[in-house]
């Protein structure tokens, strides 16, 4: 009995432990439940807050959500959709097909295409802007954005969700802006048309002034009359330059400057540039030097006229702001790849320099870097235009300057590479020569050293011819003579002693360098130079001089030109039709052509020109583009049509003449059937080129 009681007590104690453990577990469960319930309440509160924010955001932004069951086609929309469309909630579309009926017919195709792109996985979301029909029968612009949010096990979309936003105000604003833009565009076109006419109206009388001045130059004039005539020429040329600058600036403002893309030679460009600025530099007793890297390819592709324009701006400024010394224009080869050639140009002067403050605004339009004393003049546009053109040629420009010592304008441009075009070939006979340079000018010596180093030649520099003779004699004595001696005129004219009896001097090949316009005294002639090389020179001219000197090929010395060489057209008398409505231009052209021995007929407009062409045989038609009754372009087309009707006849050469010197107008002339193109006011050399081209 006692034993049973003991067992019973033990069983009860075990049950009590179980109950206590269960009680503890229940308390833990209650604590976990309470904690979970608190967390659930917190999440519920946060969800309510988020939902409230979303509701407020949708209302504030006039957004309306939509939920599309792709399988059933059922569409559910938010309350704002009714406000957006001006409908009762019950009248909202309940399916996507019903919703499509609200879309403007002109927009429905684009909406479907954008939706299909998203459904097919081509876009990460669906987006489309279109018009919806409201309850009042009006059209309202909306933006609809949505995305697939559920797919089946095969990856096919089953549900899409998105929002629609009212953008009617924005579209109205865009429409108004577009209308204003169209008005501005029309105004810009009107301005361009006005400027085009202004160009014609200004260039035409300028042609008369410059043309008559050229004719007067050929007359016998007194010194005073010549002085007056030079003033007329200079003034008209300056006026033309200022007007061209203003026209370029206006084109830049209107973003109407486009670069041409033609094959040209940097060497020819530099030669033309230098030839054009030497007279102005000589008038101020300034020297023009140049360096053209022989490693530059013979041909490149780009806009030669715009590149020359940039160089001319820097060169003209260099001459303008320099009183003593001169300017140096250099072109360097930097690099090339399969498609492009990177070149660097540098224009350095010894002028007044530029202050640090002025350097900060040097390329700003209408900014002049000199004191406003009127001494130097200028419009303050040249450098701004130059920088814009450099940027168009994918280059950059910077300036280095020291006040009182001079300035350097350095810029690079990217030009297209011409397949097969390589740098100038160096003759093996001059590659690796050992030369002596005798020149007192460090600047000139640096240029010559650069040239010779690029020809793989070794060079030694001496300042005076006396020192040079000592070195030449020393090398002769030790039987290690120089291959070539290059002497600058400035050093030669100071030399003393006899050269005819100096064996070392007579044996070494000798070149004399001299500047444009130099006269040679008998003393220089008696020095027995084998070749005379005029500065500034091209690399090819230096190579020719070196080759002829070392091979002892004596050529006729280079002499100063006595004027333009008569063109081939001078030997053939042409019958020319001038289509020009301006009486002054008629007079200038007729007198000029008559002096060249040609017969000239006048047509006051294009219509008369066409009739005269049909009734006469002409070798050349000079066709002004802007004329009354019928302009030059239409007259050219009509003449070409008449020629097509008579294929046995010879086509007449038509040269278009216009005041608009841009690529677009040039292309219009060629499209109309013109063979050549010159701009007003044209120079005699340009007219001569056209006449020389007549066959």
Q: What is the pLDDT of residues 105-160, one digit of tens each?
A: 999 999 999 999 999 989 999 999 999 998 888 898 999 999 999 998 888 899 99
Task: Give CA separation, 605 vs 195, 423, 610, 622, in Å.
Answer: 22, 49, 9, 12
Instruction: Return mean pLDDT, the chain.
Output: 83
Residue 573 has pLDDT above 60, yes or no: yes
Q: Residue 672: exposed, middle, or buried by beta-carbon count in 10 A (0-12, 13-18, 19+)?
A: buried
Task: Give CA separation, 470 vs 238, 439, 467, 579, in Å.
Answer: 51, 15, 5, 69
Q: Residue 641: exposed, middle, or buried by beta-carbon count in 10 A (0-12, 13-18, 19+)?
A: exposed
CA dihedral 302, 304, 307, 312 (to 10 degrees): 180
Tokens 């057209």 -> residue: 569
**How far is the C-alpha of 684 from the C-alpha of 567, rounded, in Å?**
11
Residues contacting residue 497 through CB under 8 Å, at least 6 positions apart: 469
CA dihedral 493, 497, 499, 502 (to 10 degrees): -140
Q: What is the mean pLDDT of residues 189-210?
A: 71
Q: What is the pLDDT of residues 336-387, one digit of tens each?
A: 988 999 999 999 999 998 888 888 778 775 555 555 434 555 556 788 888 8
Max avg pLDDT among 241-245, 628-632, 634-638: 634-638
Residues contacting residue 202 through CB under 8 Å, at least 6 positions apart: 243, 659
Q: What is the mean pLDDT of residues 480-485?
A: 90
First-to-final CA distance of the chain? 150
Q: Where are the alpha helices (DSSP H) in 284-393?
A: 304-320, 356-359, 382-392
**How far is the C-alpha of 672 from the C-alpha of 610, rounded, in Å?**
14
| Rg (the chain; Cα; Å) | 42
């Amino acid at each position: 009995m006692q034993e049973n009681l003991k067992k019973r007590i033990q069983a009860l104690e075990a049950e009590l432990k179980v109950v206590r453990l269960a009680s503890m577990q229940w308390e833990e469960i209650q604590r976990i439940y309470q904690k979970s319930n608190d967390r659930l309440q917190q999440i519920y509160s946060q969800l309510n807050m988020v939902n409230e924010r979303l509701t407020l955001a949708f209302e504030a932004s006039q957004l309306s959500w939509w939920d599309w069951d792709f399988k059933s086609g059922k569409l559910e929309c938010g309350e704002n959709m009714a406000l957006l469309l001006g409908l009762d909630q019950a009248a909202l579309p309940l399916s996507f097909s019903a919703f499509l009926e609200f879309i403007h017919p002109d927009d429905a195709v684009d909406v479907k295409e954008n939706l299909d792109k998203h459904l097919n996985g081509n876009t990460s979301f669906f987006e489309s802007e279109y018009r919806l029909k409201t309850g009042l029968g009006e059209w309202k612009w909306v933006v609809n954005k949505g995305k697939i949010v559920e797919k089946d096990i095969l990856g096919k979309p089953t549900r899409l969700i998105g929002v629609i936003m009212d953008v009617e105000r924005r579209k109205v604003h865009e429409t108004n802006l577009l209308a204003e833009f169209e008005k501005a565009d029309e105004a810009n076109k009107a301005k361009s048309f006005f400027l085009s006419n202004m160009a014609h109206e200004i260039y035409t009388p300028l042609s008369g002034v410059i043309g008559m001045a050229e004719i007067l130059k050929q007359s016998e004039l007194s010194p005073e009359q010549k002085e007056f005539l030079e003033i007329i020429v200079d003034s008209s040329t300056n006026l033309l330059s200022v007007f061209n600058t203003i026209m370029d600036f206006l084109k830049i403002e209107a973003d109407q400057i486009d670069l041409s893309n033609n094959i040209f030679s940097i060497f020819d460009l530099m030669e033309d540039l230098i030839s054009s600025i030497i007279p102005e530099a000589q008038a101020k007793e300034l020297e023009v030097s140049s360096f053209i890297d022989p490693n530059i390819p013979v041909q490149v592709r780009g806009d030669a006229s715009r590149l020359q324009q940039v160089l001319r701006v820097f060169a003209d400024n260099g001459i303008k702001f320099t009183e003593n010394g001169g300017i140096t224009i250099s072109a360097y080869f930097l690099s090339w790849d399969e498609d492009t050639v990177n070149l660097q140009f540098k224009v350095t002067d010894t002028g007044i320099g530029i202050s640090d403050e002025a350097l900060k605004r040097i390329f700003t339009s209408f900014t002049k870097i000199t004191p406003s004393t009127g001494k130097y003049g200028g419009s303050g546009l040249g450098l701004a235009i130059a920088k814009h053109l450099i940027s168009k040629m994918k280059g950059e420009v910077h300036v280095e300057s020291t006040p009182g010592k001079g300035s350097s304008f350095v810029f690079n441009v990217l030009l297209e590479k011409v397949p097969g075009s390589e740098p100038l070939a160096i003759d093996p006979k001059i590659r690796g020569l050992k030369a002596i340079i005798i020149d007192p000018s460090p600047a000139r010596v640096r240029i010559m050293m650069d040239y010779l180093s690029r020809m793989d030649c070794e060079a030694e520099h001496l300042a005076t011819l006396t020192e040079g003779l000592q070195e030449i004699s020393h090398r002769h004595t030790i039987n290690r003579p120089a291959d070539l001696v290059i002497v600058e005129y400035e050093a030669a004219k100071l030399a003393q002693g006899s050269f005819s009896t100096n064996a070392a001097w007579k044996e070494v090949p000798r070149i004399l360098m001299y500047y444009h316009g130099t006269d040679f005294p008998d003393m220089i002639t008696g020095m027995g130079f084998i070749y005379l090389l005029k500065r500034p020179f091209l690399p090819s001219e230096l190579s020719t001089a070196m080759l002829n000197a070392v091979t002892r090929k004596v050529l006729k010395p280079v002499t100063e030109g006595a004027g333009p060489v008569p063109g081939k057209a001078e030997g053939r008398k042409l019958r020319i039709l001038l289509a020009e409505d301006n009486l002054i231009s008629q007079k200038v052209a007729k007198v000029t052509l008559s002096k060249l021995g040609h017969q000239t007929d006048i047509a006051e407009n294009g219509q008369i020109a066409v009739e005269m062409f049909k009734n006469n045989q002409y070798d050349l038609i000079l066709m002004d583009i802007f004329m009354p009754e019928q302009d030059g372009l239409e007259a050219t087309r009509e003449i070409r049509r008449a020629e097509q009707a008579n294929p046995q006849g010879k086509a007449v050469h038509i040269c278009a003449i216009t005041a608009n010197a841009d690529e677009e107008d040039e292309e219009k002339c060629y499209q109309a059937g013109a063979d050549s193109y010159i701009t007003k006011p044209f120079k005699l050399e340009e007219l001569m080129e056209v006449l020389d081209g007549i066959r």
